[in-house]
Structure 1
Amino acid sequence: MKKLLLLPVLVFVLSGLVSAQTNAIDFKHSFGVNTKINPDQMEYYVPIWLNEKTIVSPFLAVQFNRNFETDNSSIGLGLKRYLIQPRTAAPFVNFDTGYSYNLNQGFVGLGFGGDYFISKQFSIGAELNTRYTFRDVGTRLGVGIDNFMVLPGISFGIHF
C-alpha cells in the first residue's frame, strides 16, 4: 500500500524532468539538510555539494517497528550524481553504504530518482533504491541475514 502511495510522487517528479525547464538555478551551495522517508524508516542526510552535479552525504537512518518505536539505527555515506545540470528538475543516480548498529549488518545500495527544486533553497524528490545487506560474521552478535530489498522513498531538502 505504501509503495502505491509513492508511485504518484515518482510520476510527478519524472514528468517534471520530461518538461525540461530552461531556467537554470544558480547552484552555489556548499551543504544542506535532507530528510528521506522510506516505508519503515527515516533517513537524515547532510548533503555536501562537491560541484554542480555531485553531492556526498553522511547520513543517519532510524528504522521503526509497528508501534513507532526505534527498532534499528544506521550510519552511512551516500553519493548522488545528477545526470544533467540541476535546473528546476533533475534526474540522478545514487550509491550508499553503511552499517546498522542493532543488527550488526553492513549494507550497500544503488538507486535512481529525481529532484524538483522549488527554489534555490528547497527541493522535493522521489527515488527508488536497491539495497543489499550482509551480516557481520566476524562477531558473535552477527544475527542478521543477507537480504536484498527495494526501497521507494520521498525526500525534502534545504540547501544553503
Structure 2
Amino acid sequence: RYPTPGSTGPKHQSRLLYNNATSWARQVAFDDTKWRIRIDDQALVPAHLYTPDEDRYQKWFRQRYPHLQEIVERHDYLRPSWLGSSQIAVPWDEQFHFAHCVLALRRYWVAKETGTHLCGRDIDYAHMKHCLDSLDEKAFPPGPMEDVGKGYRLWWQTKV
C-alpha cells in the first residue's frame, strides 16, 4: 500500500510471485491486449491508461535492452517457473537506473499535475526520494569541471 492522498488511482500495488502469478492471471482473465508492462519498473498497467509518452519511453527501454523485451514477449513475467528461478536476476546497466529515475519523476510530476496516477508507487515519497538522491549523485560529481574546450558557453543573466 502506498500513500496516495490527493490523487485518483489504485492505492495498492501487488507483487506477482511464483506462487500467485497464475491465480492473478486467471482472476483478471489476463489478456495481453488489455495490459501493458513498463520495463523500467516491471509494472503491469491497463492498456487503456497507457499514454503515447509512456510508449515512447518504453520503446527506448525495449530497443536498448532487447533481453528484457524478450521477457515481455515470452510472458515470463507471469510464468511461475521463471518467477521462482534465478533467471529473474536480469542484466542491466547504470543507464537503466538513471533512465528509470528520470521517468519515475516524470510520472510523479504528471500524477501531481493531473491528480491521477497509474500505480501507487508512481507517487510514493520514499521511491521519489530514492530517485532524487540517485540523480543527485549523477548530477553533482565531485571535483572541478572537466575541460570541455571552447564549445560550451553559459550566457550569464543576473536576475533579481
TM-score (ref. length: structure 2): 0.25
Relative contact order, CA 8 A, sep 6+: which one is greater? 2
User: When you count helix as a share of all residues, which structure comes out higher?
Assistant: 2
